[in-house]
Amino acid sequence: MSYGDMMTASEQGDRLLSDGIRDYLRALEALDEFRHCVEDEFRQAVQKHCDSLNSSLNLQIAPDAMLPYEAVSTGWAGIGVRIPITVGGCKQHAYYLDWSRGNGRIDVCIVALLELSDRSTAQAVLSALKNTRYRAGPPEFSWEAKRSTVLLWRELKFDSVEQFRRLIEELIGEWCARWRAAGGLQKLLRT
């Protein structure tokens, strides 16, 4: 039994309020530093693979076009980098760390995302990506379409920073291989 379990709800609320008054700004600063660290990891990986991303997607994306990606909603958050795209109804693609709450636990994933103009385009692009002759990637990777986005993601069972970096590399490698096999983004948007 923890110390918190022995306190009444009122005592727990008082303790949280007391700690929050004292430490709120430090907590925000720590979260801001963490966000920058995560963005830097994704930025470095995308810059390293920029040529491969450009050739597999058939785009010309400048490494300096990357912007921070941060999204927060009830039960969900994501931090990483995004690159605006203005080709054939595309809005952006992003690479990020994702947290989502469900079934009483928090899942952490690494994600590659392509945001398109609408749901039907996303479904068509996903179907074309899944039907390429490319050999299926590692079974740990999952493809799906949500709303107007196409996502490639893999759950992160965090062991070390090195493992996190390796999984980012694998994610970008799988993303590029599948797009290359499908003939690139512009080809899929024409079909």
- Give the residue-averaged pLDDT of 97-117: 89
Phi, psi of 57 (to 5 degrees): -90, -10
| DSSP codes joined into one string, the chain | --HHHHS-HHHHHHHHHHHHHHHHHHHHHHHHHHHHHHHHHHHHHHHHTHHHHHHHHT----GGG-EEEEEEETTEEEEEEEEE--STT--EEEEEEEEEEETTEEEEEEEEEEE-SSHHHHHHHHHHHHTSSSPP--TTEEEEEETTEEEEEEE-----HHHHHHHHHHHHHHHHHHHHHHT-HHHHHH-
Report the CATH number of the 38-190 domain.
3.30.1460
Question: Per residue in 56-89, pLDDT tens?
Answer: 888 777 778 899 999 998 889 999 999 988 777 7
pTM of this prediction? Answer: 0.84
Question: Per residue in 9-64, pLDDT tens?
Answer: 888 888 888 888 888 899 999 999 999 999 999 999 999 998 998 888 887 777 78
Instruction: State the chain's maximal CA–CA distance in angstroms.
Output: 63
CB-CB neighbours of 75 under 10 Å: 10
Q: How far apart are CA 12 and CA 2, in angstroms?
A: 12
Domain-by-domain residue ranges, the chain? 38-190
Percent of the chain topping pLDDT 70? 93
Q: How far apart are CA 98 and CA 146, in angstroms?
A: 14
